[in-house]
């Protein structure tokens, strides 16, 4: 990644770290039912436990800084969520999510296309990865699972493997109220992180669609 692009990502994260320090942490604990102690807030994201330092705002997992998408999705969920967000439990196609239409072309081109490429001929790897991320089996597709993004918010991954006539096909479904929890641009980042954590759990080279 070009150095100036990386520095731009770093500056965005730094700006959001400072925004976090201005947030009402006790309200965040209540709203999202977070585990917390005097030093850290803890949040589960794609079945991994991240901690946010209450004094400096840095997000880490096992002492390491996660990728850009993960950091931004956590900060932005804290910042952009509605006063009382409630998941509907109704999983819908990307285009049916409120206010995300401008991002659909990029979502299909950069995320769905890569998901299809990466797991073509690897349905068993994808199945095991979904289960490793706490997925719940669905009847649709050759592989279909509901995946918890946060404990309070789910998406679904659906996959049909390639055969003699058709290329592999994939889709994701999102809680219809996901934009009550985050900015609409972050829905794309959640999808990108789904691919990242699935490839990681599958033992493949983690797919860094954006700045991981």
Query: In order along the chain (212 residues), what is the average pLDDT of each group of 10 residues?
Result: 67 96 98 98 98 98 94 97 96 96 94 97 98 97 98 98 93 98 95 97 92 44
pLDDT score for 5: 58
Q: Are 78 and 150 in contact (CB under 8 A)?
A: no
d(CA 175, CA 178): 5
What is the structure's pLDDT at 178? 98
Residue 164's pLDDT is 85
22-26 long-range contacts, Cβ below 8 Å, gap at least 24?
23/78, 23/79, 25/54
Confidence (pLDDT) at 211: 47
For residue 146, give the nearest of 92, 100, 106 by alpha carbon.
Answer: 92
The two three-digit tokens of residue 35, written as one number: 């585990």
- CATH class of the domain defined by 91-201: alpha beta
- Cα 202 to Cα 52, 77, 85, 178: the distances in Å are 27, 27, 32, 26
Nearest partner of 181 among 102, 100, 110, judged by Cα: 100
pLDDT of residue 7: 79
Rounded to a whole number of angstroms, the CA Rg of the chain reads 17
SS3 assignment, position 60: strand
Domain boundaries, the chain: 3-80, 91-201
Q: Tokens 């009550």 label which residue?
A: 180
**How many degrees, rounded to 5, is the angle at CA 211 between CA 185 and CA 173?**
40
Token pair 């997000």: residue:
59
* Cβ count within 10 A of residue 98: 12
How many whole angstroms separate alpha carbon 158 and alpha carbon 200? 18
- What number of other Cβ atoms are within 10 A of residue 203's Cβ? 11
Strand 153-160 relative to strand 91-93: parallel, antiparallel, unpaired? unpaired
User: What is the structure's pLDDT at 120?
Assistant: 97
Looking at the whole model, is its pTM more than 0.85?
Answer: yes
């Amino acid at each position: 990644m070009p150095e100036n692009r990386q520095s731009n990502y770093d500056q965005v994260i730094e700006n959001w770290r400072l925004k976090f320090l201005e947030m009402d942490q006790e309200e965040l604990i209540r709203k999202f039912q977070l585990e917390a102690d005097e030093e850290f807030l803890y949040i589960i994201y794609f079945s991994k436990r991240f901690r946010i330092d209450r004094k400096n705002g840095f997000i880490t997992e096992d002492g390491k800084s996660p990728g850009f998408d993960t950091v931004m999705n956590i900060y932005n969920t804290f910042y952009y969520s509605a006063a009382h967000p409630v998941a509907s439990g109704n999983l819908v196609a990307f285009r049916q999510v409120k206010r995300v239409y401008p991002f659909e072309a990029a979502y299909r081109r950069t995320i769905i296309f890569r998901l299809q490429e990466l797991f073509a001929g690897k349905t068993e790897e994808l199945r095991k990865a979904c289960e490793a991320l706490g997925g719940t089996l669905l009847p649709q597709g050759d592989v279909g699972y509901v995946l918890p993004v946060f404990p309070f918010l789910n998406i679904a991954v659906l996959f049909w493997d390639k055969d003699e006539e058709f290329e592999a096909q994939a889709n994701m479904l999102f809680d219809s109220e996901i934009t009550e929890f985050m900015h609409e641009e972050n829905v794309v980042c959640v999808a990108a992180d789904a691919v990242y954590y699935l490839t990681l759990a599958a033992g493949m080279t983690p797919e860094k669609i954006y700045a991981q």
